[in-house]
Amino acid sequence: MILDNLDAAAADPILSLSVACRADDRAHKIDLGIGVYRDNQGNTPVMQAIKQAEARLLEEQSSKVYVGMPGNESFNAAMMDLLIGEGESKARAVGVQTPGASGALRMLADVIKLSAPDATVWLSDLSYANHAPIMKTAGLKVRYYAYFDTETKLVNSQAMLADMSQAGANDVVLLHGCCHNPTGADLSFEDWQAVTLLAQKQGFLPFIDIAYQGFGDGMDADVAGFRYLAERVDSYLVASSCSKNFGLYRERTGLAVIVGKSLEQSNKIKSRLLECARSTYTMPPDHGAALVDMILRDQALKQTWLDEVDAMRHRVQGLREQLAGALREKSGNPHFDFIAQHKGMFSVLGITPEQAQTLRQAHAIYLVDSGRINLAGMQEAHIDYIAEKLLLVTAM
């Protein structure tokens, strides 16, 4: 009978860690799992700019009536400005508000499936743990391009470009806009230039996932490579998130951007995305987008927000340097120096899943089995302990 055939789903490799860490009663536990920013006391406070916008919204909002299928159009436009800047492709860009960037990834995947049922989506090896499930659930094929060099812990550009040169007009190449999840190893500007040339030559569709704008080198610097590409290809897609840089995790605030060959084509594709959204969730939740819109359109609020993101970025960069320094000092070798070079919240440490499990079970340090740590989950007081246990389990 229907429903009798289902086995339980496997635990989510990231979300299950938060649950397990919460249930752990060891006082010295450290959660370096899910990509959430925490301050040096271990809290994720509501950002000041958000608090101020919320107070204003409470005063000003006069109705809770439906906003409309594409969500908040003013938010969509302001977010596209933040991403694309003044670039020429903005004239062909249309945005749709989505429930988080996962919602954007899925809706855009559904649209790809409608347009090209046999399309293959190429993901970086490694990539965000939810990329393959989203693409496969949408019915798309998934392949991987070489990305993370396990020796240098940086991008293996040559191998990456060699793999991408196999992708053609029926392929989509998914790129991380900045702050690569999970590895922390970002494309250089030269890499973006080379990928752009390949996209032009091979005709594949670039699909950019950007969830950490502002956490790498700065709000504009983080999209310099993406903007280079955006100005030089016929079409591209973007999934963008406000979870991290606005701290709006639970509000599920994201954006799907469609850029076709003409505005007319982009709008046609948008109408198909809205059709997919209608049969999935109808329309996105309003609150987070209303706040982001207010912040991006008010000079003082925007400055408060930019300053807060700068402070978060500097804290994480400082933690990177401190952890790399402690590891160098305790081990007497520079093996983990790459941690200071990585960008954004994450680094992949190059340890085995068994070593990651030992860190969890024996030392109450929670990290993803891929060896990914969330630097932004660390407190300064944790650094020596983490360095010591990491060297212990890796016998370095």
CB nearer to ligand LMR: pick between 345 and 393:
345
* Shortest Å distance, C-beta 30 to ligand LMR: 15
| Binding string, residues 166-205; x marks residues near ligand LMR by CB under 6 A | ---------------x------------------------
Angle at 273 between CA 57 and CA 276, to 5 degrees: 100
Residue number of the CB atom closest to ligand LMR: 35
* Shortest Å distance, C-beta 100 to ligand LMR: 8
* Shortest Å distance, C-beta 14 to ligand LMR: 4
Told to check if 216 binds ligand LMR by CB under 6 A, we report no
Whether the Cβ atoms of residue 235 and residue 229 lie closer than 8 Å to each other: no
Number of H helices, E strands in the chain: 14, 11
Structure-token pair, residue 113 = 């499936």
Whether the Cβ atoms of residue 123 and residue 132 lie closer than 8 Å to each other: yes
CB nearer to ligand LMR: pick between 34 and 319:
34
Told to check if 156 binds ligand LMR by CB under 6 A, we report no
* Shortest Å distance, C-beta 177 to ligand LMR: 14
Distance in angstroms (rounded) separating the CA atoms of residues 52 and 48: 6
Told to check if 21 binds ligand LMR by CB under 6 A, we report no
Q: Which residues touch 261 (CB under 8 Å, ≥6 apart)? A: 92, 234, 235
Told to check if 120 binds ligand LMR by CB under 6 A, we report no
* Shortest Å distance, C-beta 319 to ligand LMR: 17
* Shortest Å distance, C-beta 342 to ligand LMR: 15
Among 21, 30, 32, 34, the residue binding ligand LMR under the rule CB under 6 A is 34
Which positions from 226 through 265 interact with ligand LMR, judged by CB under 6 A?
none
Please give, one letter per residue, the 3-state secondary structure of 88-105.
HHHHHEEEEEECHHHHHH
Angle at 361 between CA 355 and CA 364, to 5 degrees: 100
Told to check if 213 binds ligand LMR by CB under 6 A, we report no
Among 14, 82, 94, 237, the residue binding ligand LMR under the rule CB under 6 A is 14
* Shortest Å distance, C-beta 17 to ligand LMR: 9
204: buried, middle or exposed (CB in 10 Å: 19+, 13-18, 0-12)?
Answer: buried
Distance in angstroms (rounded) separating the CA atoms of residues 90 and 231: 9
Helices (H), the chain: 15-23, 48-60, 73-84, 100-115, 131-137, 157-164, 189-202, 224-230, 263-278, 287-296, 299-331, 338-341, 353-363, 383-394
Distance in angstroms (rounded) separating the CA atoms of residues 28 and 372: 20
Told to check if 339 binds ligand LMR by CB under 6 A, we report no
CB nearer to ligand LMR: pick between 211 and 291:
211
Among 52, 120, 130, 183, the residue binding ligand LMR under the rule CB under 6 A is 130
Residues that bind ligand LMR (CB under 6 A): 14, 34-35, 128, 130, 181
